[in-house]
Amino acid sequence: MYSLLPALALALTQMAPAPRDGRELIRAMHDRYAGTWYRTLSFTQHNTATDSLGRETHSTWKEYAFLPGGLRIDFLPADSGGGALFRGDSEYVFQGDTLARAFPFVHPLLVLGFDVYLQPVDTTLAKLERLGIDLSLIREDTADGRPVYVVGAAAGDRQHVQFWVDRERLVFLGILQPNRRDPTRVAESRFEDYRQVGQAWLSARVAFAVNGRRVWLEEYVDIRTGMPLDPGLFDPRRFASARPHS
């Protein structure tokens, strides 16, 4: 017996009116996955950094997320004591298990790739406005062969912060951010290789480029969702003591 539910859901999506601005799009993203998006996540991250001469260096990190708003990175080997925490719109950087620096930071990939589906819509909108995104501007376009919504800039404009969202799945695909001090340097981050996780999604590869040249690639393996996590993992005061053994 064939189920009509997937076809019906797709038909309703296609019939839904297009969002009139970025605020309506954020609400649609939130409402699409309300109650179904995972709240915990862990994975091993293999990194490839590419310099201006094309030379590559590699590293491996272990990451944990407690959503919305919590992300922990342990640089491997874990006993090196290096890593970072993102929590409460702040970033904490550790060296040798010692806090090296802390500063305010709204993590755009955390907000648009994960938190948007879990936290109140107004909270997400406030964070995006802090990032300098003009939520009144929205247009339709294509990216990597898929139809997308682009928020924050007109077609051809690479001087303003903008992000794009898959029109069918309503998942975040990427963000373009001109450097505030040097607008000739434009950074672009893309979520790639999306995989379905229950009724939600996860990008298993994230690529970063500057002025069109890839400088950093993250590839995720050993992906787990929905597991219990110790809240101490995301407490800057317990960075070393709460570190998992595995």
Please say if the pLDDT value at position 3 is more than 70. no
Nearest-angstrom CA–CA distance, 188 and 79:
32
Name the pTM for this structure. Answer: 0.91
Residues with Cβ within 8 Å of residue 15, at least 6 apart in sequence: none
CB atoms under 10 Å from CB of 37, counted, come to 21
H or E element, residue 95: strand 90-95
Question: Are 215 and 209 a contacting pair, CB within 8 Å?
Answer: yes
Overall average pLDDT of the 234-246 stretch: 90
Confidence of residue 8 (pLDDT cuts 50, 70, 90): very low
Span 153-212, pLDDT tens digits: 999 999 999 999 999 999 999 999 999 889 889 999 999 999 999 999 999 999 999 999
Span 54-102, pLDDT tens digits: 999 999 999 999 999 999 999 999 889 999 999 989 999 999 999 999 9
Span 11-59, pLDDT tens digits: 444 557 899 999 999 999 999 999 999 999 999 999 999 999 999 999 9
Instruction: For residue 104, give Cα distances in angstroms to 87, 88, 93.
Output: 10, 9, 12
Please say if the pLDDT value at position 139 is more than 80. yes
Please say if the pLDDT value at position 2 is more than 60. no
By CB atoms closer than 10 A (0-12, 13-18, 19+), residue 86 is buried
Residue 123 DSSP label: H
Nearest-angstrom CA–CA distance, 222 and 46:
11
Structural tokens at position 118: 């879990």
Class of domain 19-238: mainly beta
Overall average pLDDT of the 143-162 stretch: 96
Confidence of residue 1 (pLDDT cuts 50, 70, 90): very low
Where in the chain are the domains? Answer: 19-238
Span 103-133, pLDDT tens digits: 999 999 999 999 999 999 999 999 999 999 9
Name the residue with tokens 């928020």: 151
CB contact burial 108-131 (16+ within 10 A = b; e otherwise) = bbbbbbbbbbbbebebbbebbeeb
